[in-house]
Amino acid sequence: PDVVVHAVAARDQARADAFAKKWGISKAYGGAGAYQKLLDDPEVEVVYNPLPNGLHYEWTMKALAAGKHVLLEKPSADTAEETRKMFELAEKKGLVLLEAFHYRFHPAPQGAKEILDSGELGEIQSMEVSLAIPAGFFKDDDIRLKYDLGGGAMMDMGCYAMSTARYLASADPLRVESASADTSSAFPKIDLGTTAHLAFPSVAEGSTVPVTLDVHFRLPWRLGIIPAWPRVAVHVKCARGELTLFNYIGPHFYHYITVKKTDERGKVVESRTEKRYGEGERYGWSTYRFQLEALVDKIRGRTPQHWFDAEDSIANMQWIERVYEATSLGARPASTAEVPSA
């Protein structure tokens, strides 16, 4: 095989051992210093960093300093400046650093973008991106609800929504028009949900494209007994029709792309639904498999079929910060860890 999972590291040795045994991993580092021991392992070439957001910067910088390529969970860091420094070090060391926006490597989101870019529906006039789940998915002690670890809905879910809007629009926002956050007395610094209204560039002179991001950890149950239905879709209105992509973050499980063409009065004159799961041997691959293939291609010096580059990661984090500033919660706290410099 081209990729072998060689080692795992955890704060607890028993957990590391159990995970290694379950998945047939040859080495398990646990306890104090486990992460550094893994980085010191000369047989490890690539590190996957799925630690809490607040630890991304520290351990990615240390992994890069140790000469390891890194697949880094999203969001890349707590601040755009941290993201920039990580990519600077990766470039200096000649290493591959990839933020793990796995959905971007799947044919479904790529297909939706192809349709929008083709001009079939005309220019984009508005967009809504949702990612929300009912209350009960995450317990109160979940890392996503810890401010010092970079928690918050805009961080954990909003990074997907922001990335998707920027990807499909082929542009960055011009500004954050407004943003509001749902908080609670138990988590005063954490946005349990955030709604952001952004202005994107428009082809029409003097106008902008309104884009709404709606993300939430804890949608209230209906009547207190019926879980709210998850929201995980993108809806794009264009000059000559509209496009909906359902389940943009996990399209390998199930998705659909609905395209509706309209006449000058807004009447639907043609409608179709597409599904794109890949072709040939790639049919049915998960988003994670597509991502892994791209990562390996990049490391091996081959051209990946898609890539999420440094500029994209930095810009995504910049706009997440700006949304937080607009909510008045402010950006997540920067890391205070001592790290190698770029």
User: Of the listed 62, 74, 85, 237, which one is catalytic?
Assistant: 74
Between CA 175 and CA 173 the distance in angstroms is 5
Residue 3: closest CA among 302, 297, 309? 297
Instruction: Mention every residue, 6+ apart, whose C-beta is less than 8 A from residue 94.
Output: none
Instruction: Kindly tell me the sign of the dihedral angle through the C-alpha atoms of 110, 116, 119, 121.
Output: positive
Between CA 107 and CA 282 the distance in angstroms is 10
Q: Which two tokens stand for residue 206?
A: 């003097």
Between CA 324 and CA 297 the distance in angstroms is 35
Residue 323: closest CA among 137, 194, 166? 194
Q: Which two tokens stand for residue 201?
A: 């560039």
Q: Which two tokens stand for residue 75?
A: 């969001």
Cis preceding linkage at 75, omega within 30: yes
Our answer to whether residue 62 is catalytic in this structure is: no
Q: Are 211 and 222 in contact (CB under 8 A)?
A: no
Between CA 257 and CA 56 the distance in angstroms is 34
Residues acting as catalytic residues:
74
